[in-house]
Amino acid sequence: MEQNNIFDVTIIGGGAAGLFAAFYSGLRDMKTKVIEYKSVLGGKMRVYPEKMVWDVGGIPPITGAQLIEQSIQQGLTFDPEVVLNERIDGLTKTDDGTFVLKAASGQKHYSKTVVIAVGSGILDPKKIQIQGKGDYEASNIHYAVETLKDFKDKTVIISGGGNTAIDWANELERICKKVYLIYRKEALDGHEAMIKHLLSSTVEFMPETIISNLKTNDGEQTIVEQVELTKQTTGEKTFLDVDEMIINHGYHRDTSLLKNSRPAINLLDDLYIKGNVNGETSVNGLYAAGDVLRFDGKLELIAGAYQDAANAVNKAKHDIKPDARTIAMVSTHNDKLKAWNRELMDEMLDDSNQSF
């Protein structure tokens, strides 16, 4: 194992937490690698490119796509090595303290410290299932809203009752001919303000209701034309003609990385890492940030993921160099940040001059 192949910190996951960890570790002058399972950076934010993001304090609401672009730009400021299309199935810690990350491809990565920032794990949307037919596929069944304009002037049915389903219903209500939201439970499970908005809108909410059957066309491409709904409390059936369906029934989560690591990591519900506010786990030198990390007082906000990332990197830095500062300040005296600031100022001046 050559010394130049060993990184100071390797970040598993290229979403919000992972990208900010990459930025912050560069700020702390650490040799950094980011490993992402998908072919692009951005993580779960890419599932909601047109969803408005409100939970970063002081930042006007922006779309998920805008936040991805800005997060990637920031995360790559200090030129970390980025490995895409690489799935890490497990890791081990050697006797000398080096972490060996084992990829499904057979590749091995070596690092002095590791930050796990995989969110809720590798996500595979739960497909709609019809009794006797299993997972159902059709060209107008969607598991994410990639662009709102695809649903303009259409009749849409959304199945789900969490924040994502509610947000999609609220966004689509403005442009669709009609939006139906069905949920198997009596009450929606989301932010109160968003639920209040939905219930006062033209969205037709149908509680305690499930999709019991689908009627499709006879063409070469399978398209759902009508949905059979069943009221769970009464058995009453309703038939709706639809153009598009959006299914938000959650995700299957691949957590093999967490379960195949040695020494074993203390987990919560086999899905999350049980750690502390500093991102520390039960394994020395192994840290976590973002949704995968759980501790008392944890908030599942993007802003919280940023703090998790900074705390984890600070601990990793101190682990490698015990006499290093406990924390680092984001200072514009850094040459990379100076250049970025100058670029932004030039853009602002150009915009100002054009306004006269």
Instruction: Check: CB of residue 250 under 8 Å from CB of residue 241.
Output: no
The band of 327, judged by pLDDT with boundaries at 50, 70 and 90, is confident
Nearest alpha-carbon partner for 171 in 67, 59, 52 = 52
The full set of domains in the chain, from first to last, is 3-123+252-349 (3.50.50.60), 127-249 (3.50.50.60)
Non-local CB neighbours of 202 within 8 Å, separated by 6+ positions: 173, 178, 179
Measured CA to CA, the distance from residue 172 to residue 52 in angstroms comes to: 12
Least confident stretch, 53-57, 119-123, 177-181, 239-243? 119-123
Q: How confident is the model at residue 339 (pLDDT cuts 50, 70, 90)?
A: low
356 has pLDDT over 60: no
Residue 6: is its pLDDT beyond 80?
A: yes
Mention every residue, 6+ apart, whose C-beta is less than 8 A from residue 56: 67, 302, 303
Of the pLDDT bands very low, low, confident and very high (cuts 50, 70, 90), residue 137 is confident
pLDDT tens digits for range 225-245: 999 999 999 999 999 999 999
HSE-CB for 265 with a 13 A CA cutoff: 34
Is the model more confident about 337 or about 288?
288
Q: Which two tokens stand for residue 288?
A: 């976590």
Q: Give the pLDDT confidence of 192-209 residue by residue, as tens digits.
A: 999 999 999 999 999 999
Residue 222: both structure tokens together: 């399978």
The secondary structure of residue 139, as a DSSP letter, is T
Contacts of 291 (CB under 8 A, 6+ apart): 17, 44, 119, 120, 272, 300, 305
DSSP assignment of 153-209 equals: T-EEEEE--SHHHHHHHHHHTTTSSEEEEE-SSSS--S-HHHHHHHHTSS-EEE-SE
Taking 50 as the threshold, does the pLDDT of residue 131 lie above it? yes
Distance of CA 16 to the CA centre of its chain: 7
Mean pLDDT of 94-108: 95
Query: What pLDDT shows up at residue 338?
Result: 62
Q: How confident is the model at residue 311 (pLDDT cuts 50, 70, 90)?
A: very high
Q: Is residue 61 over pLDDT 70?
A: yes
pLDDT band for position 340 (cuts 50, 70, 90): low
**Omega before 207 cis (within 30°)?**
no
Across 120-143, average pLDDT: 80
Q: Write out pLDDT tens, residues 212-221.
A: 999 988 777 8
> Given a cut of 50, is residue 59 above it in pLDDT?
yes
Who wins on pLDDT, 52 or 246? 246
**In which band, very low, low, confident or very high, does the pLDDT at 299 lie, cut at 50, 70 and 90?**
confident
- Residue 329's pLDDT band (boundaries 50, 70, 90)? low
Q: Residue 26, class by beta-carbon neighbours within 10 Å (0-12 exposed, 13-18 middle, 19+ buried)?
A: buried
